[in-house]
Amino acid sequence: MRILRAGAAGAACLVCYLSLGTAAAADPEACENRVNNNIDKLLECVTLEGVRSHQAALQSIADSNGGIRVSGTPGYDASVDYAAGVLEGAGYDVTLQPFTFNAFIELGEPSFAQVAPVPTDYVLDVDYNVMSQSEPGDVSGVVEAADLDLGLGNGSTSGCEPADFTGFTAGNVALLQRGACAFGLKADNAAAAGAVGVIIFNQGNSEGRTGLINGTLGNGYSGGIPVVFATYDLGVELASTPGAEVSILVDVFRGTALAMNVLAETTSGDDSNVIMAGAHLDSVNEGPGINDNGSGIAALLETAVQMAKVKPRNKVRFALWGAEESGLVGSDFYVLGNGVDGDGLSEGEIADIAAYLNFDMIGSPNFVYFVYDGDGSSFGLEGPDGSGIIESYYEDFFAARGLPFESTEISFRSDYAAFFDVGIPFGGLFTGAEGIKTDEQAAQWGGTAGDAYDPCYHLACDTFDNNSDVALDVNSDAVAASILQYAMSTEILNGKRGKGNFNLRAEQENMGRRKYR
């Protein structure tokens, strides 16, 4: 295994990697010995059981590491060990690419309580949560509100201007309301006025802005004090309680940490015509991340294992990204560099990548089959040339099986963003996160209208049980089929001739003849 060293990050201590058995197929002996060099054979061997075995391994890693796999923690390092071992054991050239990033890691259980006049312990993830990028701290003080505007239809700008804190008493805890400007700016202004801690509560201007959100202060937050986010009702309660005193404990690490991308590529294939397939390997602080994004990782790993004996026409490079949950850091570093640890891809290396395929959350329990809107026909933003062709491939895949699908917006919330920025065609699959399933979608795909596509998104319950076997099975086949298709021919994308039995027309005809398992 190669380790790609980048500046000072290359000095990190790396553990030895162990090759782990992974393949679980309908006919294990046949799948182990044959070359899955067409899509029918490959899909016979990329099974739900095989994919789920990788998710089970990631769950076990989380269980042994405080329930998380966050970049910069032992749980993430163990995830790297596992994935790299699987890929190396399957015969790929594996490279570890280290990079530094601004980490935010929850170390211990937080607490938030009213000390007076009515002692009350508030409940984490019900009444409040810790804002991402908060500083650690154990503080207490009198609650002092700044420029609140309560009630439905309000236009809160609380905390957005230093003037909002005119007369603020240094040493108090600032009570601020969501609205009009970034959370980090509000907290920075409060800290500059002498606050020892900050409570930001939801705006309450509409029924949809009353509960908790997973908000962030941003990497640029410089206030130096702890910040929690509260429900609208709790904010109103504190604002209307004369002399309210609170205590806030936030036990986190916020600073520079080291993580790694895992890159694995085939030993054969045209290295001037590379197909990349990626998914992020890290979880959030709140849980093990088995759908987000153990699902995409597991599908890639099982596809790689079952393609191991294939001699592709084009080089295939699997990418398992670090620190996606910290702001797409790993994929940005790979493509763009960061000016500290490395310079990113050269113009020639960018030109060598024919397509990037992204798989982030593909087994959501209340799923929809979403395909990225590469041609911009649904949301108005078109991807780089070729993205619409990739979108059509996935649409044809679902249509051939009589399965409904829907476009999803290019929102730059996942690791395709940097590839988009440098003009590389991209596409991919998604089954939904915190978005709410509509009545029309429930009629198409089943599930529960009015609930999130993934009710455990960014929560501790994103475990091995947080899964739709149906969606994961279908999407794992789509992952495998698309990777092999473009591994063998990118002619429709860039005019480079591939294997004749993988031309698009023949493949579409084959799709129509296939009967989905």
- What's CA 111's distance to the chain center, in Å? 27
**Prior bond of 117 cis (ω within 30°):** yes
User: Cα–Cα distance between 428 and 295 in angstroms, integer?
Assistant: 13
Q: How many CA atoms lie within 13 A of 200 on its CB side?
A: 35
Helices 294-306 and 74-89 pack at an angle, to 10 degrees, of 20
Task: Please state, in angstroms and as integers, the Cα–Cα distance from residue 376 to each residue in 29, 358, 371, 388, 409, following that order.
Answer: 44, 17, 12, 8, 8
Whether 174 and 167 have beta carbons less than 8 Å apart is answered as: no
Beta bridge partners of 371: 407, 429
Task: Kindly state the DSSP code that residue 137 receives in the 8-state scheme.
Answer: E
Query: First CA to last CA across the chain, in angstroms?
Result: 36
Q: Catalytic positions, please?
A: 324
User: Cα–Cα distance between 517 and 510 in angstroms, integer?
Assistant: 15
User: Cα–Cα distance between 104 and 133 in angstroms, integer?
Assistant: 6
Polymer length of the chain: 517
